[in-house]
Amino acid sequence: GGQSQAKSPASDTPVLDNFGTDIPRAALENRLDPIVGREKEIERIAQILSRRKKNNPVLIGDPGVGKSAIVDGLALRIVQKKVSRAMFDKRVIALDMASIVAGTKYRGQFEERIKAILNELSKNPNIILFIDEIHTIVGAGGAAGSLDAANMLKPALARGEIQCIGATTLDEYRKNIEKDGALERRFQKVIVDATTPEETLQILRNIKERYEE
């Protein structure tokens, strides 16, 4: 964008802007690959997000199966207003857990960052967090005597103050999230299978078209 647009009003989510990527913004700027063959899963997560309870979908599937592409697909649908009206003004922000943990120098700094993020989220109920590798919140930042990310997120999830979409593998889900009833209770599993050969072909065709443009 030109310099003229750089003077946008101060963001009300500076911490999230720092540690996250606004997916619909990426969609509007045409940075996302077209999503193919995942309509069913996109519908499912949109439906879960619209519920009152257990409204945090977690996509579970093998690495490389295209879990984050499904979230991109949802973001694109929101931009195109192809979702229920309740979701028209939602923003999906992909949170980079690794960068939140990285560079935390003193004790309690990680907690401060998570608290700041939770604070911004409570003031912006239209934001849905996307946490890829969501199993990493268990134990993340949890040095001796400090809470890990999971234990900081639990009360906010329980009160419905934040909403998130997670993605992980079945192994990691079982190992880290299923063991913690209070955490697991907030999530709704969505199993993501590998695409069929036809779908895979369609995806490759799409990619090919993009690169030939």
**Domains of the chain by residue range:** 3-212
For residue 108, what pLDDT band results from cuts at 50, 70 and 90? confident
Token code pair at residue 56: 């945090």
For the chain, give the mean pLDDT: 85
For residue 39, what pLDDT band results from cuts at 50, 70 and 90? confident
Q: Which residue has the tokens 């977690």?
A: 58
Closest by alpha carbon to 40, among 205, 207, 192, 202? 192
- For domain 3-212, give the CATH number: 3.40.50.300
Which DSSP letter does residue 151 get?
A: H
SS3 of residue 138 by DSSP: coil
DSSP string, 127-185: EEEEEETGGGGSSTT--TTS--HHHHHHHHHHTTS-EEEEEE-HHHIIIIITT-HHHHT
Q: Is the pLDDT of residue 112 over 50?
A: yes
Could you read off the pLDDT of 5-24 as tens digits, one per residue?
444 567 889 999 999 988 87
Closest by alpha carbon to 205, among 32, 34, 27? 34
Closest by alpha carbon to 74, among 83, 63, 65, 66? 83
Q: Is the pLDDT of residue 212 over 60?
A: yes
* Listed range (56-60, 101-105, 154-158) with the worst mean pLDDT: 101-105
Phi, psi angle pair for 164, to nearest 5°: -140, 160
Q: Which residues contact 115 (CB under 8 A, 6 or more apart)?
A: 152
Q: Which residue has the tokens 């065709």?
A: 205
Q: How far is CA 97 from the centre of its chain?
A: 11
pTM (global) more than 0.95: no
Could you read off the pLDDT of 114-145 as tens digits, one per residue?
999 999 999 999 999 999 999 988 887 776 55
Amino acid 128: pLDDT: 96
Residues 25, 21: Cα–Cα separation, whole Å: 8
